[in-house]
Amino acid sequence: EDTLEIAEGLQQHLEEQGHEVALATKAAHALALACSFRPELVVLDLGLPDRDGYDVVEQLRARGESVPVLILSARGEEADKLRGFRLGADDYVTKPFGGGELFARIAALLRRAARAAAFGESAPASPSRPGPLADETLRDRFGLTARQVDVARLLGEGHTNQEIADRLGVSYFTVRSHTEQVLAKLGVASRAAVGALLYGGS
Ligand code: CA
C-alpha cells in the first residue's frame, strides 16, 4: 500500500490486534518481503508506484506461494475483482472500506488458512490457484529430488514410465521407483492426480 495514511492506519490497527506487520509501499518490496518475512496473509493494493498489484499476486502464485491474498483497492468494477480472483486472490475489499468488515475478512482468511494447515491441505492443489507448481516448491515443500521433479513433470504431462525412461535415459525400473516416490511425496493416489496437482484441472 503506497498511501501511507491507509498503510500506517492498517498497520497500527493490526498490531493492536496482536499481528506482526511488515509494510511495503512498492510491488518489488512486497515480493521481496513475501520471501523474507513469510507473511501469513497479504493485504494488497492494486495501484502501486512501480508495478500493478495484479502482477504481485500473479508472481506469488507462479512461485507456488499459497499465502492468502486480500486485494484492497479503489477499483470496484466486477471485472477488476474477477481479474484479481482469477490471478489467485482470496478476497477483495473496495476502498473506501469499513475497518470492521476488513478486519473481519482478514480474521476469516487467517482462520481458514489455519484450518487448512491443520487438515494438511495442500493449498496449491486448490482449483482457485491455477498454474504449475514451481520446481523449487516441489523440492522444498514436497521434498522431491531434482530427478523426481523431472519425473513428476513428465507424469503430469501424461507420459508412461517407459516414455519417461527413454526421455531421461534411465531404466524403466528406476522410473517406476521414482514414480512411487513422487506419488507418496505428493500425497496422491494416481498418476492422473499428479497432473491435476501440477497443472490444475482434475
Ligand atoms: Ca495505491
Phi and psi dihedrals of 73, rounded to 5? -145, 155
Q: What is the pLDDT of residue 116?
A: 81
For residue 101, report the distance from its CA to the centre of ligand 1, in Å. Answer: 20
For residue 46, report the distance from its CA to the centre of ligand 1, in Å. Answer: 6
Q: What is the pLDDT of residue 138?
A: 87
For residue 25, report the distance from its CA to the centre of ligand 1, in Å. Answer: 8
pLDDT tens, residue by residue, 126-137? 444 445 778 888
pLDDT tens, residue by residue, 28-84? 999 999 988 899 999 999 999 999 999 999 999 998 999 999 999 999 999 999 999
For residue 27, report the distance from its CA to the centre of ligand 1, in Å. Answer: 10
Q: What is the pLDDT of residue 126?
A: 46
One-character DSSP codes across 69-123: EEEEES--SHHHHHHHHHHT-SEEEESS--HHHHHHHHHHHHHHHHHHHHTT--G
Q: Which residues pair with 72 in a beta bridge?
A: 93
For residue 160, report the distance from its CA to the centre of ligand 1, in Å. Answer: 49
From CA 88, how far away is CA 59, in angstroms rounded?
10
For residue 20, report the distance from its CA to the centre of ligand 1, in Å. Answer: 22
pLDDT confidence tier of residue 197, bands split at 50, 70 and 90: confident
